Structure 1
Amino acid sequence: MISCQELFTLPSLKKLTLVAGKAGLDRRLRWVHFIDLPDVIPWVQGGELLIITGIGLNGDVHKLQAIVRGIIKKKLAGLIVNVGPYIQTVPPEVISLADQAKFPVFELPWEVKLVEVTGDICRHIIMKQTEERSISDFLEQLLFQPSSDPDVISHRAAYYGYDLTQPHQVAIISPVRLLEFVQSQKTKAEKDLVALKIRFEQIVRDVTAICPQKILSLLRVDDIILLMPCEDKTGGTCSNTELLSAILAQLAVKIPGLAVVAGVGGRFEQLPDARGSYLQAVKVLRFSARQPAARQIHVYEQLGIYKLLFEMDPGKLAAYHQEVIEPLLAYDAKQQMELVDTLFVYFEENGNAVKTAKRLFVHRNTLDYRLKKIEEISGRNLSDPYDRLTLQLGVIVGRQLEL
């Protein structure tokens, strides 16, 4: 679909003037209708751009207001009034109504041929739909079909103005507990979940559309996957992080209450390595789900020791965890204690016993008993830097492997 804002770019609409609803120019239109009936409401479904001349209204402002109210309620994209003998100008009452509803209303001079207007809009919609399908197709091939020919993908992308010969990185924008959010809105879950995903995708594309370089995007399940150019040798993290911040800010404004996080994979220079960057972004999102901090953007290159652990063989990590932490888990299971959780919080609070006890809602004496028990069972001294690091790595590995 295209936005109402894009109408101004079409050749036949050079004389188009916006008279109301500027705040709604990001509304999407799926088709255009020219219907000149006094009662147009039964003939529209939602998402259309309606064109009228006002014939049959006999200059009745109240009838025009009723039409605008009706098409706003039916969630049309906008209204073009072909001003001339039947409606000389859009009345102030209609302008006020449209502004309040953030519903775009345009004026188009009578001499403009409507057949050219409808043709231009329909062709533009079809072209955009074709481009979006093609982009989704070759991004799917790039990230999820490693056997695909990268040269073919690159040439197809170049056809639409995307340069895949420069370094890129993959980012994933993911809503948190999307279904719960939809249900909290007290709406019809399935229908409105689909509508929300479409709006989610549109907001992301609106922000990326203003970037100097074109960015590939793909809606997959609940997430938006972005293939982002990064020119500098540091991985483009700074500029792309700023762009992601702008996207998340817009999502917060346009879909208030929906929690969203972003994961950014590493930089790559060869297209066959794109999937590796995507998998890194996936790992980052999994990592973010286990973090108590309220950060929204997590970058693979900034994960520190977690980045190192991500690259290690899971089997070796599991063996390390079993050696170091398993005795504590066994004791917890047998005695109904929380030694491992206590240890994790203790390390998160940098060994501060007061803060640890407060977070765990336990008395300081209880915490001291648990720490001594940890030392006794593990055979390691929390005052010893090496033993302390060994235990800390053990609980980190456990969280990473979800053990």
Structure 2
Amino acid sequence: MAMTVRRLIGVNDLALSLVAGRDGIDRVITWAHAIELTDPSPWLSGGELVMTTGLHLPESDDDQRDYVRRIVESGSAALAFDTGVRFQRVPDAVCAAADEYGIPVLAVSPSTPFIAISRAVIDEITADQVRLVQKVVQGQENLARVTMRGGIPALVDTLASALDCAVCVMDRSRVVLAEAGVDTAGVVERVQEQLDKDQKRRRGVSRVVVDDRGSLTIQQIPGADEKQGYLAVSSANPLDAGERLLVGHALALLSIELAKPARVIDAEQRLRTGVTQALLDSTLDVDPALLRYFGFAPDDSVVVAVFTDIGPALPAEHQLAAALDPQPYLMAGVRNGDGLAVVVHADGAGTELDRVYNRARTGLRRAINGGLGEPAPITNAGLSLQQALSAVRVAEANGHRLVGFDELGTFSLLLSTQPDTVLRSIANRWLGALQDYDAETGAKLVESLESFLHHNGHWEAAAAELGVHRHTLRGRMVRVAELTGRDLDSAHTRSEMWIALKARELLAQELPKR
């Protein structure tokens, strides 16, 4: 806690009293300096408690006002005026000027030597420095400890918490490796702007930028041959000395993390993929030691999530891994598909995977799909996988979002678990003739049937949705009945056709084949 004028007044042994400039009572004192010059400002650097006996203080009110003004302009924190040598009390002109300029004036008792005031200030400054060093050392230890356990994401989370700032780390390709804090999307945007500017100017990017959005500190993460990435810290105000030391330590840890031999990282990822694939294949047993290596036990309950429409596999794996760390996870590609399957502990899985999904969307800058299975024993993770595949199939059919298996309606649940051959058979049986007729004539029978069934056979509502007259819609439904040989007034026929339409909808999506 810094030494302020208020705290100095509170030191009982000094018997100091505030006689003017109350508005500045919380100013921080960085040093105590006794000086008796008529104009002490050339020997002041800012933040000082100026102590004087008033021996050379001018007599006139105007000159005394100028004396206070010069002290204020030097950036000094306060004025301590002795009342036992030349003056019995602080001159009125000095007090008036102090009130006007907002600089505190302390009356010093004749029994209080300046050395006692200096000692109180210096002792507190020294204690502040010791506390700062202790805080920095503790912060460095925390950063090192969490980095060993959770890698870069844990390091970024801890740094953001310690600084109460937003922090993000990008690799050399500007892919976000980890982020934490408020409005990280805005921080990433500001960093991208600076990188673009510096690239055009061919300048190094390490810098501090201060604008109306606050302070942005950007540091290049050094590597053996070239820069490995960027560390950015966004704060309301510029970082202080202790905070800059923490950022420097984080930079060193990031350099070490990013410099890990690629073959070691690749080998671990291959092992993780192999364990995941074996776990999701119900016919294979997984060595418990391998499960424990990745943070799981043979009796754990897990949830499987599947993410699709993720784009190129490597960036997607990178983003999901960054979002999942530091919690234990397993991940592998979906067999014969374009998605990734992720296995996590069941406790809190819904909330955690929702966070992962949103971070992955932001990092990949694309609308991805997600499906969540139900909790299952780790030895039966394949069941949760099949449920996640069913959920992700529905997610893509209904727009890019995250869908849980427990959200599926009856039709979606029944159809999403069927292979494409079955879905195609259902759709063709009921809709094949209609689709052929539409292709030849452009009659839009399938679209009209779907609207008619969606509105429960209400002619006006369905016709309005299609933008046609109700008589036109009636004519189309007569043609549907003729081509299918079915009575549309039958509830059974309507339900069969609705199932066929849903099967057709699912077939229209490019999803992992099972």
TM-score by length of 2: 0.47
Residue 226 (structure 1) aligned to one of 323, 333, 342: 342
Quickly say closer, same or farther: Cα 1:136–1:265, change in 2 above 3 A.
Answer: farther
What's the counterpart of residue 232 of structure 2?
103
What's the counterpart of residue 39 of structure 1?
none
Verify: 1:158 aligned to 2:304, yes or no. no
Task: Give the match's secondary structure for 1:365.
Answer: helix
Residue 351 (structure 2) aligned to one of 242, 254, 263: 242
Q: How does 1:88-127 map to 2 (within 5 A)?
A: 96-98=215-217, 103-104=232-233, 107-108=244-245, 122=256, 126=260
What's the counterpart of residue 111 of structure 2?
none
Structure 1: which 5+ runs fail to align?
31-44, 48-68, 82-89, 179-192, 232-238
Q: Distance in 1 between matches of 2:270 and 2:474?
A: 56
Q: Distance in 1 between matches of 2:382 and 2:217?
A: 46
Q: Distance in 2 between matches of 1:209 and 1:358?
A: 51
4+ runs deviating over 6 angstroms? 16-21, 69-72, 74-79, 90-93, 99-102, 219-222
Verify: 1:298 aligned to 2:403, yes or no. yes
Q: Distance in 1 between matches of 2:435 and 2:349?
A: 41
Q: Distance in 2 between matches of 1:91 and 1:371?
A: 67
Q: Distance in 2 between matches of 1:167 and 1:340?
A: 45
Please report how far the alpha carbon of residue 98 of structure 1 lies from its aligned counterpart in structure 2 after TM superposition.
1.7
**Alignment RMSD (CA, Å):** 5.1
Q: How does 1:359-374 map to 2 (within 5 A)?
A: 359-374=465-480
Q: How does 1:191-270 map to 2 (within 5 A)?
A: 198=315, 201=317, 204-209=320-325, 214-218=328-332, 223-230=339-346, 239-251=348-360, 258-270=366-378
Residue 339 (structure 1) aligned to one of 445, 466, 475: 445
Residues 395 and 403 in structure 2, CA contact (< 8 A), matched pair in contact too? yes
Residues 291 and 298 in structure 2, CA contact (< 8 A), matched pair in contact too? yes
Verify: 1:289 aligned to 2:396, yes or no. yes
Residues 166-197 of structure 1: CA deviation (Å, up to 9, x unaligned):
22232123346x5xxxxxxxxxxxxxx78xx6
Aligned residues: 314
Residues 324 and 378 in structure 1, CA contact (< 8 A), matched pair in contact too? yes
Residues 294 and 330 in structure 2, CA contact (< 8 A), matched pair in contact too? no
Quickly say closer, same or farther: Cα 1:71–1:12, change in 2 above 3 A.
Answer: farther
Please report how far the alpha carbon of residue 337 of structure 1 lies from its aligned counterpart in structure 2 after TM superposition.
1.9
What's the counterpart of residue 63 of structure 1?
none
Verify: 1:348 aligned to 2:454, yes or no. yes
Quickly say closer, same or farther: Cα 1:312–1:360, change in 2 above 3 A.
Answer: same
Q: Distance in 2 between matches of 1:360 and 1:401?
A: 23
Task: Give the match's secondary structure for 2:468.
Answer: coil
Residues 21 and 98 in structure 1, CA contact (< 8 A), matched pair in contact too? no
Q: Distance in 1 between matches of 2:480 and 2:217?
A: 67
Q: Distance in 2 between matches of 1:92 and 1:394?
A: 60
Task: Give the match's secondary structure for 2:486.
Answer: coil
Which protein is bigger by CA-based radius of gyration? 2
Q: Distance in 2 between matches of 1:78 and 1:7?
A: 28
Task: Give the match's secondary structure for 2:306.
Answer: strand
Task: Give the match's secondary structure for 1:126.
Answer: coil
Paired AA for residue 10 in structure 1 = A
Residues 143 and 278 in structure 1, CA contact (< 8 A), matched pair in contact too? no
Please report how far the alpha carbon of residue 326 of structure 1 lies from its aligned counterpart in structure 2 after TM superposition.
2.6
Q: Distance in 2 between matches of 1:173 and 1:248?
A: 8
Residues 330 and 343 in structure 2, CA contact (< 8 A), matched pair in contact too? yes
Residues 301 and 307 in structure 1, CA contact (< 8 A), matched pair in contact too? no
Residues 262-291 of structure 1: CA deviation (Å, up to 9, x unaligned):
1123443253x4345434433433333333
Q: State the identity as a percent.
A: 16
Q: How does 1:35-46 map to 2 (within 5 A)?
A: none
Residues 76-132 of structure 1: CA deviation (Å, up to 9, x unaligned):
9997x9xxxxxxxx9999x945279982486349xx9x9xx9699637863998467
Q: Distance in 2 between matches of 1:77 and 1:7?
A: 30
Task: Give the match's secondary structure for 2:499.
Answer: helix
Paired AA for residue 103 in structure 1 = A
Task: Give the match's secondary structure for 2:299.
Answer: coil
Q: Distance in 2 between matches of 1:313 and 1:20?
A: 52
Quickly say closer, same or farther: Cα 1:218–1:71, change in 2 above 3 A.
Answer: farther
Paired AA for residue 27 in structure 1 = V
Task: Give the match's secondary structure for 2:232.
Answer: coil
Quickly say closer, same or farther: Cα 1:208–1:341, change in 2 above 3 A.
Answer: same
What's the counterpart of residue 82 of structure 2?
none
What's the counterpart of residue 324 of structure 1?
430
Residues 265-318 of structure 1: CA deviation (Å, up to 9, x unaligned):
3443253x4345434433433333333xx4612223432223223445655554
Q: Distance in 1 between matches of 2:215 and 2:258?
A: 30
Quickly say closer, same or farther: Cα 1:9–1:318, change in 2 above 3 A.
Answer: same
Q: Distance in 1 between matches of 2:305 and 2:393?
A: 13
Please report how far the alpha carbon of residue 259 of structure 1 lies from its aligned counterpart in structure 2 after TM superposition.
1.5
TM-score by length of 1: 0.58
Q: Distance in 1 between matches of 2:265 and 2:331?
A: 12
Paired AA for residue 216 in structure 1 = L
Paired AA for residue 278 in structure 1 = L
Structure 2: which 5+ runs fail to align?
1-138, 148-157, 176-193, 220-229, 234-238, 510-514
Q: Distance in 1 between matches of 2:171 and 2:140?
A: 10
Task: Give the match's secondary structure for 2:443.
Answer: coil
Residues 142 and 274 in structure 1, CA contact (< 8 A), matched pair in contact too? no
Verify: 1:23 aligned to 2:166, yes or no. yes
Please report how far the alpha carbon of residue 352 of structure 1 lies from its aligned counterpart in structure 2 after TM superposition.
4.1
Paired AA for residue 300 in structure 1 = F
Please report how far the alpha carbon of residue 10 of structure 1 lies from its aligned counterpart in structure 2 after TM superposition.
1.1
Residues 136 and 218 in structure 1, CA contact (< 8 A), matched pair in contact too? no
